[in-house]
Amino acid sequence: MNQSVKDYIVSINSAIEKENFGDKPQELYEPIRYIMSLGGKRMRPLLSLLSYQLYKDNIKEVIPASIAVEIFHNFTLMHDDIMDNAPLRRGQQTVHEKWNDPVAILSGDVMLVKAYQQIIKYCPKEKLTEILEKFNQCAIEVCEGQQIDMNFEEQEEVHEADYIEMIRLKTAVLLGFSLEYGGILAMDNEADQALLYQMGVNAGIGFQLMDDLLDVYADQDKFGKQVGGDIIANKKTYLLIKAKKLASGENGTELKKWLMAKDFDKEEKVNAVKDIYDKLSIKELTEAKMNEYFEKAFKNLEDLDAPSEKKIIIKDFFNYLINREQ
Amino acid sequence: MNQSVKDYIVSINSAIEKENFGDKPQELYEPIRYIMSLGGKRMRPLLSLLSYQLYKDNIKEVIPASIAVEIFHNFTLMHDDIMDNAPLRRGQQTVHEKWNDPVAILSGDVMLVKAYQQIIKYCPKEKLTEILEKFNQCAIEVCEGQQIDMNFEEQEEVHEADYIEMIRLKTAVLLGFSLEYGGILAMDNEADQALLYQMGVNAGIGFQLMDDLLDVYADQDKFGKQVGGDIIANKKTYLLIKAKKLASGENGTELKKWLMAKDFDKEEKVNAVKDIYDKLSIKELTEAKMNEYFEKAFKNLEDLDAPSEKKIIIKDFFNYLINREQ
């Protein structure tokens, strides 16, 4: 990873550490400090800084404003973990597990308000309405994406286009907003602001498809989670949706058998489904789809009215993410 | 109730009915329309209109902005009902009962964003920062109040002052904000804006104490819920806190017995605890405390730099609430 990017992340982490969020009642603020301290890539505020540096040099000035998107992201994690019954987040207990559901609901609510507070405190007044309108839109779409994702779990069949739309809402629009946000803070070129948003959405869809791929094809020694977890859980990822669509004859029967199986050896199921994926070229098809979105994102980057040498850091960062193994 | 107040409520309800909130996914928006249609007194937007009319006549113009506080209030109800495991709200199934917890969490989240959207869409730009700062503060305090209320349920002893502080946060500050909000929209007199807030907080504490009283002393034929519900559930209301503090000797032993009782006849418990309350003059003490806050609110109203004839409608409305029997 580029040294500037590393420096940005250090600055973001240090700004988050300095934030106290609140004192009493501690049941409300302890969970906020806890989830914010679990780390992660800090990708969303980082994207805001990366788009800002395309146009302006005084990065330090926008670090406090950039934290808003990280607070918002962690609010969604806290609430999603309740809804998904997730026991762990970044290898640590989730908030609703460590405390309880009411604490996780209420601390999450406070975090959403804190995200607004951070925007209102640190954004210039003349840009506040525009930023808040876009942030609201994004926040609502993220909730819509989460609901659609939950609906998919109950649905027999999910279409490829609906899946892409779900990950656009659930994951990609926040990356789009984060980039656009840095752009709005830096300059007034609306065409570039729209391109930054599109770049984030395209990259976001690409990264989510990559997550789906890694879950099946990552090197277990380098991957943080269990490889094949999505297969074991019948998770409706791009790979499974594509395979269900393409599988016919013996492949179809075999896939259906594994999807219905109640009692199975996990490794056996993972290997069997991977075999079907291989026969149907699911890896290549997913990579093609993913690259389609990455290429759009790189094209968006190229089209920006910003100095080429400033674009390199973003290009490098995207490539770093594309080459990640976990 | 005064005819103007009735007209205001009709206008508020009609504005809420016209609001669609959103379409897809319907699991997200159906619950929002559902909870918003359950009715209630619409007290919060009404308070915004009542403070606005003190200074300006074009009430219709602020109705859309006033809806924000009703959306926010219903967001808190939706999430509180999950936390409190409440089966019913205004005699109808709660959202988490009718749908499920994830839907109630996520629809509530969207409502919080929608409250911001409503403010941002309908408030004048030059007042937006001020309004949002105060709204954020209020929203956070409401969450703090809910958490402190939940904490009280686990605590052996709750002090009177801590209880008053809890209801100030959980209930009263939103009434304060609602009044102040109408004032900010109408004029720039900061002293009056602060007085409006104080008036709402004082009245809010008074009304909550009145709720506590009505739960024990209301006429069952006129009261919507079961009279004595708080006593049956050992709810730490002002009355119980005061009684626990004052009860000694036989009263103390008797009260403790009923608080510990696992298996009891509900009516017998309600009557027995009421007897203890009577011996300790709990009704009179609570009324005195309540009137202390109402008097402060009326004094705040008097001190406002607004026409006396415009104040009458607020005075009448408060008196209407003070004389309510349910």
Average pLDDT, chain B: 95
Are A132 and B116 an interchain contact pair (Cβ–Cβ within 8 Å)?
yes
**Residue A213 · residue A317 · CB < 8 Å:** no
A244 by Cβ neighbours in 10 Å (0-12 / 13-18 / 19+) ranks as middle
**Residue B133 · residue A159 · CB < 8 Å:** no
Q: Compute the distance between CA of residue A297 and CA of residue A215 in angstroms, rounded to an integer.
A: 23
3-state secondary structure of A219: coil
Longest Cα–Cα distance of chain B, Å, equals 63
Are B136 and A113 an interchain contact pair (Cβ–Cβ within 8 Å)?
yes
Chain A residues inside the 8 Å CB shell of B112: 109, 112-113
**Residue B206 · residue B297 · CB < 8 Å:** yes
H helix or E strand, kind and range, residue B273: helix B266-279
Per-residue b/e over B119-133, b at no fewer than 16 CB within 10 Å?
Answer: bbebbeeeebbebbe
Are B143 and A28 an interchain contact pair (Cβ–Cβ within 8 Å)?
yes
Q: In this complex, is the C-beta atom of A25 within 8 Å of any C-beta atom belonging to chain B?
A: yes
**Residue A70 · residue A44 · CB < 8 Å:** yes
**pLDDT tens across A248-257, in order?**
999 999 999 9
Are B151 and A109 an interchain contact pair (Cβ–Cβ within 8 Å)?
no
User: The domain A3-322 belongs to what CATH superfamily?
Assistant: Farnesyl Diphosphate Synthase (1.10.600.10)
Q: What is the chain A residue with the closest CA to B138? A: A113
Segment A189-208 mean pLDDT: 98
Cβ count near B90 (within 10 Å): 11
Q: What is the pLDDT of residue B226?
A: 81
Radius of gyration of chain A (CA): 20
Q: What is the pLDDT of residue B133?
A: 98
The pair of structure tokens assigned to B103 is 């839907």
Q: Which residues contact B135 (CB under 8 A, 6 or more apart)?
A: B68, B72, B115, B116, B119, B177, B181
Q: What is the chain B residue with the closest CA to A23? A: B144
Q: In this complex, is the C-beta atom of A148 within 8 Å of any C-beta atom belonging to chain B?
A: yes
H helix or E strand, kind and range, residue B92: strand B92-93
**Residue A41 · residue A79 · CB < 8 Å:** no
Segment B260-268 mean pLDDT: 92
Per-residue pLDDT at B225 exceeds 80: no
**pLDDT tens across A3-38, in order?**
889 999 999 999 999 999 999 999 999 999 999 999
3-state secondary structure of B223: coil
B37 by Cβ neighbours in 10 Å (0-12 / 13-18 / 19+) ranks as exposed
Segment A53-73 mean pLDDT: 97
Q: What is the pLDDT of residue A40?
A: 86
H helix or E strand, kind and range, residue B244: helix B238-246
Segment B252-256 mean pLDDT: 95
Q: What is the pLDDT of residue B90?
A: 86
Q: What is the pLDDT of residue A270?
A: 94
State yes or no: cis peptide before B25, omega within 30 of 0. Answer: yes
Longest Cα–Cα distance of chain A, Å, equals 63
Radius of gyration of chain B (CA): 20
Are B120 and A113 an interchain contact pair (Cβ–Cβ within 8 Å)?
no
By Cβ distance, the residue of B133, B139, B151 closest to A27 is B151
Q: Compute the distance between CA of residue B18 and CA of residue B248 in angstroms, rounded to an integer.
A: 57
Q: Compute the distance between CA of residue B282 and CA of residue B191 in angstroms, rounded to an integer.
A: 36
Domain boundaries, chain B: 3-322
Instruction: Please tell me the distance in Å from B235's CA to the nearest CA on chain A.
Output: 18
Q: In this complex, is the C-beta atom of A143 within 8 Å of any C-beta atom belonging to chain B?
A: yes
Single-letter code of the amino acid located at A192: D
Q: Compute the distance between CA of residue A109 and CA of residue B111 in angstroms, rounded to an integer.
A: 11
Q: What is the pLDDT of residue B313?
A: 95
DSSP state of B270: H
Q: Compute the distance between CA of residue B31 and CA of residue B93 in angstroms, rounded to an integer.
A: 11
Per-residue pLDDT at B221 exceeds 90: no
At residue A137 the predicted structure's pLDDT band, cuts being 50, 70 and 90, is very high
Q: What is the pLDDT of residue B232?
A: 94
Single-letter code of the amino acid located at B202: N
DSSP state of A306: S
Q: Compute the distance between CA of residue B52 and CA of residue B182 in angstroms, rounded to an integer.
A: 5
The pair of structure tokens assigned to B74 is 């219903």
Q: Which residues contact A209 (CB under 8 A, 6 or more apart)?
A: A167, A238, A286, A289, A290, A293
Instruction: Please tell me the distance in Å from A75's CA to the nearest CA on chain B.
Output: 10
At residue B31 the predicted structure's pLDDT band, cuts being 50, 70 and 90, is very high
Q: Compute the distance between CA of residue B322 and CA of residue B314 in angstroms, rounded to an integer.
A: 12
Q: What is the pLDDT of residue A260?
A: 93
Segment A115-137 mean pLDDT: 97
Are A28 and B144 an interchain contact pair (Cβ–Cβ within 8 Å)?
yes
